[in-house]
A and B are shown apart, each in its own frame.
Chain A
Amino acid sequence: MARFLTKDFLSGAMFIVFGLTALYFGEKLAVGTAVRMGPGYVPRMLSYILLGLGGLIIVFSLFSPGEAVERLKWKPITLVTIGIVCFALLFERAGLLPALVALILISSAGGEEFKLKEVIGNMIVLAILCTIVFKVGLGMNISILRGVW
């Protein structure tokens, strides 16, 4: 199993997955001829190249196994991503302030140290800063709290 968990093997597999995905979704695009290329010509060419390179990387990785992939820490990447998604969902529906609170609270929880007092202080500073820079300074059309301001 270990020989398949190297960075090289997995990245080769990743390129192949991307190549196949592009082939699958680009299937309906007309290829055309070399003189009059259709919208599908270049995408298909790139997909085949990706498949080839991915295969090459995999073959090489089997002959000389390189570095193994480090153990993943799920907490930071998951929480940061959830934080951004929450921001996106709340921003237009509820306004900047709730979105900001959600993003900072969730993403701060992804770090090693989490002190509620500091996080709240950080929120207050950033909320004031963002309001001044984006709403007042740049005059962006955003609401701080939906229905209020």
Chain B
Amino acid sequence: MDLLSNLALGFSVAISFQNITYCLLGCMVGTLIGVLPGIGPVATIAMLLPITFHLPPTASLIMLAGIYYGAQYGGSTTSILVNLPGEASSVVTCLDGYQMARNGRAGAALSISAVGSFFAGTVGTIIIVIFAEPLTRMAQKFGPADYCALMALGLVAAVVLASGSVTKAIAMVFLGLLFGLIGTDVNTGAQRFTFDVPELSDGIDFAPIAMGLFGIAEIVVNLERHLERGGAIKVGSLWPTREEIRRAIPAVLRGTTLGSLLGVLPGGGPTLGAFSAYTLEKKLSKNPGQFGKGAVEGVAAPEAANNAAAQTSFIPMLTLGIPSNAVMALMVGAMIIQGIQPGPEVMTKKPELFWGMIASMWVGNLMLVVINLPMIGMWVKLLTVPYRYLAPAILLFCCIGAYSLQNSTFHVMQVAMFGVLGYVFMKLGCEGAPFLLGLVLGPQMEEYFRRAMLLSRGDPMVFLERPISLGLLITTAALLILMALPSIKKARKEAFQEEG
């Protein structure tokens, strides 16, 4: 009954006054940025990363996690009420959610999505609890070569599931790896690409980079596009009809299953989960014509899926130390800031942090239902704040946050620089997420690579001789070959077209 005692430990940590306060704070901030279009969880977590330096490790991770899954709840509110996705993962909710709102069922859509999300979040948390230990035990058997292969698989899979051109995304990964090498070489003490800037000798800080690539570049693009706001809609009764409940339940179950599965995959996560769940519902439905006209299933399934995926995407990060998407890359960063090396040791060496964080996710999900349903009026009011007020505020918080990292204006300059770079990336259709993953994994991957080669006396065959490493590399190669097949290329293109 290890599981129960672990959970008990987790809950005792999660419901301590301090942690529950930070959990609530994270969920509130998450809902806020979820509701507001034009700022996502990646930019927010990057912005708040410097502040977490002042907090105890457990509290800071609990808060950051809260922002991430809180954003999934908040995002759906905007989608349903004003037909504007607050988050990328709630784009599909717009299709049927807004139609339900126009039919006067806004309240029902909101409560179905909130309760469905809560159910999915609960299942996601249980899955983490069950799989965390076996996966961690497996990871402890990994040697340097295996880790290197695992990271390669993680990076490639992240690329494959991201939208856009595969070649470009792979190049972005390598570019990120290269940027990750900036700083002092740990083995020889040589300065690499530091250009005699003392601030760079400790390595490049990724918080300013994430702020620049995701925060600043996003603001600029939104300023160019002139973000439109629709008029707010009346919420109406929150109670769904019996018929709506009957149709929502199986959809929530299917969405949860699909979302949980897709969340664990590297590069998966809420957005992919939501899109797949919507497509699945449409295929299974007896009258697919209803979709896009306010079908309950079209709200219930994707909302459950995005929340389940948000939870299970923590699994590779927590157990293996491998981030599967940009938010998880930042969580890894938050751990490193706190002096914790992410990986299988976290669970054995810091059980209170590990289980406390997992338990807090369930507590947070419970809080989010309360934050989102009875307090819905407050969030609706926030939607009337125009973007021209919001953009300078985000910029300001980014600048102060970057400065506070090491009390140096050099980091603020970095934000500006990577803002421009991020803008260039966006204009050239190159995605920021693979870059960030490469950046975070770069130093570790080099370290494992060098250690593996040293152990094998310079024989690269070591990666093919160890069964674990071989298996991982074969999977990686298979993924790459699959992507090159014309039929899959076409299907992939279509899938992402629906997204846009």
Contacts and interface: CB of A to CB of B under 8 A. Distances in A.
A30 interface: yes
Query: Interface on chain A toward B: helix, strand, loop, or mixed SS?
Result: helix
The size class of the interface chain B forms with chain A is 35 or more
A134 to B, nearest CB: 6
Contacts of B495: none
A138 B54 contact: yes
Contacts of B453: 34-35, 37
A118 B185 CA distance: 50
A57 to B, nearest CB: 5
A122 B223 contact: no
B395 A80 contact: yes
22 contacts: A8-B165, A8-B429, A22-B178, A22-B193, A25-B193, A26-B192, A36-B454, A46-B177, A49-B174, A50-B175, A67-B429, A69-B427, A69-B428, A70-B427, A73-B224, A84-B415, A88-B403, A100-B396, A108-B392, A112-B226, A126-B396, A130-B400
Contact of B224 (A76, A91, A108): A76
Interface of B: 51, 54, 165, 167-168, 170-171, 174-175, 177-178, 181, 185, 187-188, 190, 192-193, 195, 216, 219-220, 223-224, 226, 387-389, 391-393, 395-396, 399-400, 403-404, 407, 409, 412-413, 415-416, 419-420, 423-424, 427-430, 446, 449-450, 453-454, 457-460
A131 to B, nearest CB: 11
Contacts of A80: 216, 219-220, 223, 395, 419
Nearest to B438: A46
Given A39-B187, A56-B167, A7 B175 contact: no
A57 B54 CA distance: 44
B377 to A, nearest CB: 22
Contacts of B167: 53, 56-57, 60
Contacts of A8: 165, 168, 429
A103 B450 contact: no
Contact of A89 (B219, B391, B409, B457): B409
Interface size range on A against B: 35 or more
Interface in A48-103: 49-50, 53-54, 56-57, 60, 67, 69-70, 72-73, 76-77, 80-81, 83-85, 87-89, 91-92, 96, 99-100, 103
Contact of B416 (A54, A70, A88, A141): A88
Q: Pick the 4 closest A-B CB pairs, nearest first.
A: A34-B458, A35-B458, A88-B412, A39-B185
A46 to B, nearest CB: 5
Given A42-B449, A111-B223, A85 B396 contact: no
Interface in A1-58: 7-8, 10-11, 14-15, 18, 22, 25-26, 29-30, 33-43, 46-47, 49-50, 53-54, 56-57
A54 B178 contact: no
Nearest to B390: A122
Contacts of B54: 138
B106 to A, nearest CB: 29
Nearest to A115: B388
Contact of A18 (B175, B413, B428): B175
B80 to A, nearest CB: 28
Contacts of A50: 171, 174-175, 178
Contacts of A56: 167
Given A80-B220, A80-B223, A126-B392, A46 B174 contact: yes
